A and B are shown apart, each in its own frame.
Chain A
Amino acid sequence: MLSFVRFLFAFTIGSHILLVSTSISLIFLISISEFLSIRHNDPTYEALARRLSKMFVISFGVGTASGIVMAVELIGLYPGFMTLVASTGAMSLFYAEISAFFLEVLALVLYVYYWNSFGSRLVHWIVSLFVVIGTLASAVFITMVNAWMNTPAGFDINAFTSSGFKTITGVQPYAAFITASSVDQVLHVVVTTLFAGSMVVGAYFAYWFIRSKDSSEKAMYGRALKILGAIAVVTVILSGFTGSREMGNLLVNQPLKYAALDGNPVPGTNLPDRFFGTVQGGSYVGGFTLPGMQSLLAQFETGITYLPGLSQFPQANWPPLLVNTTFNLMAAGGVALGLFFLFYFLALITKRRPYESRKFLYAWIPASVVAILVYQLGWATDEVGRQPWIVYNVMTVAQAANTSAGLLVPGILIIIFYLAVVPSSFYLYARVFRGSHSTEGTAA
């Protein structure tokens, strides 16, 4: 039953982040489109913003409803964990997140439904920034909860564990906002989420740009792709940078997870980067290595030369060693996407308009699949890499979980439900966008 509980939550969150990454990229695209429509007095950008805002309303509605499902699911699946959360500062993060929701929802309602009631277009555009801030703040606060799970703080951990999880003392309600991993994790999650969402939304526009024969529609898709291409170039660079910082943070604060991700059987200096093998009998077997590379990167990022190995930790606390492979796949996918956008950027600066080039757009569609896989692998690596802990070095998943057989039927219902909701949401986003005419709502 524990495996089912793990799978159920992993499945739910994996589905949820697909919806959320799309939402985040949509609101950036909307806000930038409207800004450009004002700056260049371009009705196509305004029409794009208007049509996308309809998609965003749907994505917000389904995404927040799914978020509520996840919150309640957490209580049902991991009661021990949620009791700890509710009694410590992690709960403050959920409360702060609700404030972000209010900002997002009120600004969104004004932005979409009172578009024509604003005297100034600039003020209307500023409202879109509040939606952006609310959306980002929601993502930031929920990521902070995850960072708190990786590097718990704000209560007396010794008293809690030694009392058999009965005594929660020394509570500092705001400590969860800034834990040892919060900044690095938030930065990495925000940029990779924006990147993955932009790739998915971009794939939709790339497909229709290639297929469309209508010049006004093509002009709109081209503008969307121009913005999304720019977002992708910036965020793919930032993803690499923040990902490197994340690894540095793991090295300092979660050395066991670091050792598992890098496949280090024993600690040492001048360690190689290890790819696609596994640890057996105290050594790394299968796969291949790049001599000295791991130490070089670690020293560059943190100045640390002596790197941790799995042998330093009790084997019972090791995460599944598959994380080395998932980590490698994620990194390889990230590098491939980085190369794709390097070529894209080169085409951009040499004025070859890659956002309208069929060659690039054909490549964008499979690249978006890679981006989503990389995004999901990143999340899976982070979560599986923390196993067996739900709160690192404090509470294991087994100690937190509800393993009642009664969860089986509702759990299966939730899985079936998500299997229907996610594809139908994407289908309807597309249908709603395509259902509006390209000049709808513009003064043109």
Chain B
Amino acid sequence: MNGIFEVNFAAFSVFAALLITEIMGAVVLLIAWSAREKVLDYLVPIWEVTGTFGALWVVTGGFAYPALLVPVSSIFAPLLVVFLIIWVARSASIAFAEFITKSGWLDETKLYRAYSISTLVLGLVVLILLSSLVGGQGVDLSSGSFSLASWATAGNILFVVGTLLLGVGMAPIFFGLSSFRKLVLPLALAGVAASTLSYWLMSADLITPWIAIPILLTLAVGLLYHWPKTVRVVTNKAVFLAVLATIIFSLQPFVYPKVIGQALAVDSVTTAGAMADAFASITVVGLLLLALMLAFYLRIAMRGPSGPDVH
């Protein structure tokens, strides 16, 4: 057990869960604009929180693995440049879309479309990054470089497709879009099948008994959505996010104890000594503050008569 890894991976799980829900929202905005109110009620107050959890993941990663900071950033430099530019574009477009008034060529619809497309590209970049960290394809540790052509194996492409299927399949649950109800189970099943196959294609070592946890949790959410007694539970956004973060957190055997196609032992590059103690102390204080802030947030947010004022 590596506590520092667990904290960093937990931060990643929350960030990834939030980003996946943003991707779901982006898909809905692109293909079902008429359902935008339900999506924007969620997206508008949350997109900045996603970014903050992303920053938390990056900073705890830098703190936890100081020796990896430079090699990883140089290996993935081209992807990171794309990520950064898209990141600013995504943040700017949704922030402007929220408050823009119709005048000239630029309006809310165009800006939300720009946000949706940039979020989808962002998701793609993150998935390429993650799949190469898991399977190691495309990464050349000796030359410190990354090749997209070498990355583009059947396993990695299927990983992207599987995640997209899961995202689209789960979106009707998360945003309460009952008209797309029939798509949920078929897409969830297809997504689980594609993802599992992709893990096996990336490396047969990834298929361990642990994988039953994310598969069962994903299918359970899809099934519970179709059962009238539990539909309110799984469509509750806090519950859904918690389950999604748990599913992602349960995937940690993919990157621990070894990462980048089993080439690198995580424990060997984890910070130690006084810095490890400082990491623990700052994490505890930070978590307490975060818990207090979230409690206050929920207290106010739950009290509102009709959700956030975003329209």
Whether B3 is near chain A, meaning CB under 8 Å from some CB there, is no
Task: Using CB atoms, name the residue of chain A closest to B286.
Answer: A99
Work out how many contacts link A and B, with CB atoms closer than 8 A. 202
**How many angstroms from the CA of A183 to the CA of B274 in the assembled complex?**
24
**How many angstroms from the CA of A92 to the CA of B66 in the assembled complex?**
12
- Docked-complex contact B73 and A75, CB < 8 angstroms: yes
Task: Using CB atoms, name the residue of chain A closest to B86.
Answer: A65
Given A69-B84, A86-B66, A110-B301, A76:B74 Cβ within 8 A: yes
**How many angstroms from the CA of A202 to the CA of B90 in the assembled complex?**
29
Given A76-B77, A417-B88, A102:B52 Cβ within 8 A: yes
**How many angstroms from the CA of A274 to the CA of B91 in the assembled complex?**
47
Interface residue from B45, B46, B47, B55 paired with A68 (Cβ < 8 Å): B55
B40 to chain A, nearest CB (A): 11
Whether B44 is near chain A, meaning CB under 8 Å from some CB there, is yes
Whether B33 is near chain A, meaning CB under 8 Å from some CB there, is no
Whether B294 is near chain A, meaning CB under 8 Å from some CB there, is yes
Whether B238 is near chain A, meaning CB under 8 Å from some CB there, is no
**How many angstroms from the CA of A57 to the CA of B90 in the assembled complex?**
14
- Docked-complex contact A79 and B74, CB < 8 angstroms: yes
**How many angstroms from the CA of A105 to the CA of B66 in the assembled complex?**
27
Interface residue from A61, A65, A114 paired with B304 (Cβ < 8 Å): A114
Task: Using CB atoms, name the residue of chain A closest to B48.
Answer: A105
Interface residues of B in 257-298 (CB under 8 A from A): 271, 273-275, 277-279, 282, 285-286, 289-290, 293-294, 296-297
- Docked-complex contact A95 and B308, CB < 8 angstroms: no
Whether B300 is near chain A, meaning CB under 8 Å from some CB there, is yes
- Docked-complex contact B81 and A102, CB < 8 angstroms: no
**How many angstroms from the CA of A110 to the CA of B304 in the assembled complex?**
11
Whether B92 is near chain A, meaning CB under 8 Å from some CB there, is yes
Task: Using CB atoms, name the residue of chain A closest to B285.
Answer: A99
- Docked-complex contact A417 and B94, CB < 8 angstroms: no
- Docked-complex contact A94 and B59, CB < 8 angstroms: yes
Interface residues of A in 156-193 (CB under 8 A from B): 171-174
Task: Using CB atoms, name the residue of chain B closest to A59.
Answer: B95
Contact with A along B39-75 (1 / 0, CB 8 A): 0000011111101101110111011001101100110
Task: Using CB atoms, name the residue of chain B closest to A99.
Answer: B286
B185 to chain A, nearest CB (A): 34
**How many angstroms from the CA of A60 to the CA of B56 in the assembled complex?**
17
**How many angstroms from the CA of A101 to the CA of B294 in the assembled complex?**
13
Across-interface contacts of B293 in A (CB, < 8 A): 102-103, 106-107
Whether B229 is near chain A, meaning CB under 8 Å from some CB there, is no
**How many angstroms from the CA of A86 to the CA of B279 in the assembled complex?**
11
Given A174-B278, A414-B81, A61:B289 Cβ within 8 A: no
* Among B62, B84, B277, B278, residue most surrounded by chain A Cβ atoms (within 10 Å): B84
B289 to chain A, nearest CB (A): 6
Given A98-B56, A413-B85, A435-B101, A92:B304 Cβ within 8 A: no
Interface residues of A in 267-303 (CB under 8 A from B): none
Across-interface contacts of A116 in B (CB, < 8 A): 304-305, 309
B307 to chain A, nearest CB (A): 9
Interface residue from A103, A410, A425 paired with B77 (Cβ < 8 Å): A410
Contact with B along A76-113 (1 / 0, CB 8 A): 10010011001111011011111101110111111001
- Docked-complex contact A89 and B297, CB < 8 angstroms: no
- Docked-complex contact A113 and B45, CB < 8 angstroms: yes
Task: Using CB atoms, name the residue of chain A closest to B271.
Answer: A87
Interface residue from A60, A98, A117, A406 paired with B286 (Cβ < 8 Å): A98
Whether B219 is near chain A, meaning CB under 8 Å from some CB there, is no
B159 to chain A, nearest CB (A): 24
Task: Using CB atoms, name the residue of chain B closest to A172.
Answer: B274
- Docked-complex contact A95 and B100, CB < 8 angstroms: no
Given A98-B55, A105-B52, A110-B300, A57:B78 Cβ within 8 A: no
Whether B99 is near chain A, meaning CB under 8 Å from some CB there, is yes
Given A83-B69, A86-B66, A114:B51 Cβ within 8 A: no
Given A116-B309, A435-B101, A68:B69 Cβ within 8 A: no
* Among B48, B66, B103, residue most surrounded by chain A Cβ atoms (within 10 Å): B48
- Docked-complex contact B289 and A71, CB < 8 angstroms: no
Interface residue from A54, A88, A110, A119 paired with B99 (Cβ < 8 Å): A54
Task: Using CB atoms, name the residue of chain B closest to A402.
Answer: B74
- Docked-complex contact B58 and A79, CB < 8 angstroms: no
* Among B88, B94, B273, B293, residue most surrounded by chain A Cβ atoms (within 10 Å): B88
Across-interface contacts of B58 in A (CB, < 8 A): 68, 71-72
**How many angstroms from the CA of A73 to the CA of B77 in the assembled complex?**
10
A105 to chain B, nearest CB (A): 5
- Docked-complex contact A62 and B88, CB < 8 angstroms: yes
Across-interface contacts of A439 in B (CB, < 8 A): none
Across-interface contacts of B275 in A (CB, < 8 A): 87-88, 91, 171, 173
- Docked-complex contact B48 and A92, CB < 8 angstroms: no
**How many angstroms from the CA of A117 to the CA of B299 in the assembled complex?**
10
Task: Using CB atoms, name the residue of chain B closest to A73.
Answer: B84
- Docked-complex contact B91 and A64, CB < 8 angstroms: yes
Contact with B along A405-432 (1 / 0, CB 8 A): 0100010011001000100110010011
Given A101-B52, A110-B300, A173-B275, A79:B98 Cβ within 8 A: no
Whether A66 is near chain B, meaning CB under 8 Å from some CB there, is yes
Across-interface contacts of A414 in B (CB, < 8 A): 81, 84-85
Whether B183 is near chain A, meaning CB under 8 Å from some CB there, is no
Whether A306 is near chain B, meaning CB under 8 Å from some CB there, is no
Given A99-B289, A414-B81, A432-B96, A87:B66 Cβ within 8 A: yes
- Docked-complex contact A431 and B278, CB < 8 angstroms: no
- Docked-complex contact A114 and B274, CB < 8 angstroms: no
Task: Using CB atoms, name the residue of chain A closest to B51.
Answer: A64
Whether B148 is near chain A, meaning CB under 8 Å from some CB there, is no
B298 to chain A, nearest CB (A): 10
B50 to chain A, nearest CB (A): 10
Interface residues of B in 149-178 (CB under 8 A from A): none
4 more A-B residue pairs beyond the given contacts A72-B73, A118-B300, with a C-beta to C-beta distance below 8 A? A75-B62, A76-B80, A94-B59, A94-B63
- B: residues with CB less than 8 A from A are 44-49, 51-52, 54-56, 58-60, 62-63, 66-67, 69-70, 73-74, 77-78, 80-81, 84-85, 87-88, 90-92, 94-96, 98-101, 103, 271, 273-275, 277-279, 282, 285-286, 289-290, 293-294, 296-297, 300-301, 303-305, 308-310
Across the A-B interface, give the 3 residue pairs with the lowest CB-CB distance, nearest first: A173-B278, A86-B66, A117-B304
Q: What are 14 residue pairs bridging A and B, where the CB atoms are less than 8 Å apart in the complex?
A: A61-B48, A64-B51, A65-B51, A65-B91, A71-B55, A87-B275, A91-B63, A91-B66, A91-B275, A96-B282, A109-B46, A110-B301, A410-B81, A432-B96
